[in-house]
Amino acid sequence: MPTHFQPGLNIAHRHLACSLIETVLKALDPQTALAKHFDPTIFTRPTHILAFGKASIPMTNAAIACLGDRFARATVISTPQLCAQTQFKNPLVELLPADHPLPSRRNIDAANRLIEHAKSIPSNHQALILISGGGSALLCAPRDGITLEHIIQITNTLLKAGAPIQEINRARSKLETLKAGGLANILDHVAQADAFVLCDVIGDDRSTTLQTIASGPVAVPSINHTIIASNQTVLDTLIAWLARQHINLVDTQRQAIGPAADLGKALARKLINSNPHPPFAACLGGEPTVDTTTSTSTQGSGGPMLELALAGALELARTDFRWTIITFATDGIDGPTDAAGAIITSDMLTPDRLEHIGIALDAHNTLPMCDLLGATIRTGQTGTNVNDLAIAIRWDDGEANALPTQPPTK
């Protein structure tokens, strides 16, 4: 998938960011990850696939290949953009588009088709449930007496307030039938059901995590869950990438949650307060959030990765060393924008721009500011989702030519 940068970004930094993003996305490839964890001895009967989430399409492709002649049928729900890029040649696969992060009528229609499939599975067959980030929004089946408009209103209010995904999905579980084990109840008649999960939830407790991912539609003891990749995979990949770039790592923050601007400032201070010989870096992975209810404007456009990058850059603006900040949302979508993240360098921050960055942060209007700086990264939807990453690098003053000058190897 091509990564698009703005014209003003110099070629060395362009190649650096491109190398990082391609390395991360390769490590997160859902097809490879599922195939790696797939145990063919578990699936001895005709197997039906129920897949939903941003990685449902590649996960389904991998599962069909692994199942071989044991594959019976699949119902797959993904975003309209990813569905438009895909054509399953197998007539036993039904691909259905649904909207994210706010559901629409077609989400309900898609969920109803998946329910019909689940109910129709013969009792001597097996079910394979493939779950990935975004699944909770895509799989929408309101309870009796609950309207779609009410679900949209509650979800939108929580999203604007920067609520953690755990809180959002708890609210959804009270409003919808398939959440909190609801799909598992429908599958209770099948001979065996197993779930493979691409994890987009931050936390150590496995039980809580599985109940949160897509609002836990099959999170019951009778269904085995296999997590095929997570944000920890991202950070492990990032650390290995830094070693190959000969960049020392001074700090890694795992499971980073909370206001994106605060996390950006803290990341910047790791560089300011560390003193090994450059180049060195600090990084984080997790799910930063933005509370737009505190905005000074009702017209702001931006997301957590853009906000984190700008806040970190503003903190580093008073230093006298060269630095680079790169942020990336692994699904290619930073909040409600078409950006995947940003790359900001010390030479972008001319004095006249610093005040404007502060205003943009106060208004949570960070996309126009990143575009103005030439910092915005765009990838389009990546077909995977394990939250976000950010890295800040401090360079030696004499290392202008130390950055990669060749494109990354495909």
CB 194 within 8 A of CB 129: yes
Contacts of 33 (CB under 8 A, 6+ apart): 198, 228, 229, 233
Would you say residue 401 has pLDDT above 80? no
Same domain, 206 and 339: no
Q: Give me the helices (H) in 176-320, please.
A: 182-186, 206-212, 231-244, 260-272, 304-316
Number of domains in the chain: 2
- pLDDT tens-digit series, residues 149-208: 999 999 999 998 888 888 999 999 999 999 999 999 999 999 999 999 999 998 878 988
Domain range for 347 is 4-26+232-395
Same domain, 239 and 271: yes
Report which of residues 224 and 300 the model is more confident about: 224
Calculate mean pLDDT across residues 349-366. 92
Calculate mean pLDDT across residues 332-346. 95
Same domain, 253 and 391: yes
Closest listed residue to residue 326, CA positions, set 274, 363, 379, 399: 379
Of 205, 229, 253, the residue that ends a domain is: 229
Give the bridge partners for 288, in sequence order. Answer: 258
Would you say residue 410 lies in a domain?
no
Closest listed residue to residue 400, CA positions, set 21, 23, 20, 16: 16
Same domain, 117 and 260: no
Calculate mean pLDDT across residues 367-380. 96
Q: What is the CATH number of the domain that holds 315?
A: 3.40.1480.10
**What distance in Å separates the CA atoms of residue 188 and residue 260, rounded to the nearest whole number?**
41
**What distance in Å separates the CA atoms of residue 34 and residue 198, rounded to the nearest whole number?**
9
Of 214, 229, 244, the residue that ends a domain is: 229
- The neighbour count for residue 210, using CB atoms within 10 Å, is 21
**What confidence tier does 6 reach under pLDDT thresholds 50, 70, 90?**
confident
Q: What is the CATH number of the domain that holds 92?
A: 3.40.50.10180
Would you say residue 406 lies in a domain?
no
Would you say residue 299 has pLDDT above 90? no
Would you say residue 32 lies in a domain?
no
Residues in the chain, overall count = 410
Calculate mean pLDDT across residues 296-303. 75
Same domain, 158 and 192: yes
Same domain, 169 and 295: no
Would you say residue 129 has pLDDT above 70? yes
**What confidence tier does 297 reach under pLDDT thresholds 50, 70, 90?**
low
Q: Mean of the per-residue pLDDT values for the chain?
A: 93
**What distance in Å separates the CA atoms of residue 8 and residue 57, rounded to the nearest whole number?**
35
The pLDDT score that the predictor gives to residue 397 is 77
Sheet harboring 4-5: ordered strands across?
A: 4-5, 376-378, 341-345, 322-329, 388-395, 280-289, 248-259
**What confidence tier does 406 reach under pLDDT thresholds 50, 70, 90?**
very low
- The neighbour count for residue 316, using CB atoms within 10 Å, is 25
Instruction: Show the tokens assigned to 168.
Output: 């959002």
Provide the whole-model pTM. 0.91
